[in-house]
Chains A and B, each alone.
Chain A
Amino acid sequence: MSRNIIAVIFTPLFLLLVIYPLVALLFRLESNGIARTLVDPFFWDSVKNTIVAAAFAAAMGLLLAIGFGYLHLFQKNTFIYKIANLMNDLPIALPHTVAGLALLLAFGRNAFGFVGNTGLAFTIIAVILAMFFVSYPLAARTLASGVEKIEKEVIDVARTLGDTPTKAYLRIALPNLGEALFSGFVLAFSRSLSEFAAVIMFGGNVPGKTQVLASYVFTKVEEGELEMAVTASAFCVVLSLLTVSILGLRRLRYAKN
């Protein structure tokens, strides 16, 4: 017993604090709520907005992360790398309402009034940018740890064979970063799926236009439609589990190889 003391403490706490809330949510599912949610066009719009915006945000995050990976490999002593590395931790500490407000001020009416009455705010682009802002650091960190695993001598040899740092990164490092690229995309996508605060601050909560699953659930709770909120939440749980399972399976396959 004393040898398993950590497991004995961990198991009930994990079940109570992590699994139980999810089970409690799923047990509140009702057929009436499911039926009403599934015929609600705004629900399907929010599903579409969530998936499309998260995919774009993750793709953008991955592209920028590839750039960060380059700095991590070749330019660790530069000012821009040090700032970029520091900023990777920022979204963890920063309230996402603050991130949303920052985006609103940067790309809203005052700075980007020329693109429309509200600038980029309250458009699907705003939703994408908000998701990108909070998810990019995950992709960047994943790419950086992938770069760490590349044997430095492989890059050194490529350089002596005539590769510039850019060529060595694109031809030698990137093809060996498949796992990190995949994980970075899936993690950024998963994080984007779950974003609420930054999205609602900058993208708003316009049904059919900028409403995402997280804000749909929020709206339904506010309207007192708990059964519909529970159905949408259960959908979110399934979607999230599906995404993290893909990641888990891929990691398992990679570990076997």
Chain B
Amino acid sequence: MLKIDKLCKQYNNQPVLNQVSLDMGPKISVIIGLNGSGKSTLLKVVAGIVEPDSGTVYIDRQDITALDPEERKIGYVPQHPALFNHLTALENMRYCLKNGRGSEKILDRYVEMLGLKDILTKKPRTLSGGFKSRVSLVRSLASQPKVMLLDEPLSDIDVAVKEKLLPEFKKVLKDMGIPTLYVTHDPWEASLLGDNFYAMVKGKITEINSADDAFDIIKASYNIKSSVS
């Protein structure tokens, strides 16, 4: 289980995370927010890539705030697939095994589920955006993380491919059965994927009932008037 307690982070005296708290079980929680709302920073703090100014992160009741990223057992899929270009798709996905993590069995299962068998020997540069995203996801899942963090992993993908990928991603993440935090600025993407939803505005997080509610909160916070009457 993932628990985030009163996380705060400032850059140049501007609060990016403002007392962010979350308590998550093995569900897909989607955070919806505009660019610069602090959602990517939140994932980086949870992953241990960025240090918070204050607050605590727990996984299974263990305080992991002071741990380095390699000690946290967290899967992180960044905005761009960030594949290791000198390795093949299979070597990318097997990478965690070099560090004694994950299992071949899980890897094979997700390779099968996401239809990656035909591209295993290919280098990332030769793959389409959709396959790069799939490889990036399996690479993290294969390490058997306790928590998954996905930072707009499909932002580079066009809508038609995204429509096909989202159910695949959902199926695989559900199969994994671990707390998953998925960040996006797109309520449509959020509604296709999420079990529960949060809106993030200016570093503050609010739980909402549906992805569509995010719009109202964001608009209210930025005093944006709807042009549609």
Contact = CB atoms under 8 A, between A and B. Distances in A.
Interface of A: 151, 153-154, 156-164, 167, 171-172, 175-176
Contacts of A159: 48-49, 68-70
Nearest to B69: A159
Contacts of B49: 156, 159-160
A158 B95 CA distance: 8
B75 A160 contact: yes
B178 to A, nearest CB: 14
A160 B69 contact: yes
A167 B99 contact: yes
Contact of B70 (A151, A154, A160): A160
B198 interface: no
Given A160-B72, A160-B143, A161-B99, 9 more contacts: A151-B82, A157-B82, A160-B70, A160-B74, A160-B75, A161-B70, A161-B140, A175-B86, A176-B86
B85 interface: yes
A236 B121 CA distance: 47
Interface residues of B, number: 31
Contact of A153 (B74, B80, B98, B99): B80
A157 B76 CA distance: 6
B101 interface: yes
Contacts of B99: 161-163, 167
Nearest to A257: B125
Contacts of A154: 82-84
A172 B124 CA distance: 14
A151 B74 CA distance: 20
A175 B95 CA distance: 15
B78 A156 contact: yes
Contacts of B48: 159-160
A100 to B, nearest CB: 41
B78 A162 contact: no
B76 A156 contact: yes
Contact of B78 (A153, A161, A164, A167): A153
Contacts of A151: 80, 82
A257 to B, nearest CB: 10
Interface in B56-81: 68-70, 72, 74-80
Contact of B139 (A161, A172, A175): A161
A89 B69 CA distance: 34
Contact of B96 (A153, A162, A175, A176): A162
Contacts of B78: 153, 156-157
A160 B140 contact: yes
A156 B145 CA distance: 15
A157 B143 CA distance: 11
B84 A162 contact: no
Contact of A161 (B68, B79, B86, B96): B96
A156 B47 contact: yes
A162 to B, nearest CB: 3
A151 B86 CA distance: 13
Contacts of A153: 78-80, 82
A126 to B, nearest CB: 39
Given A151-B80, A175-B86, A157 B140 contact: yes
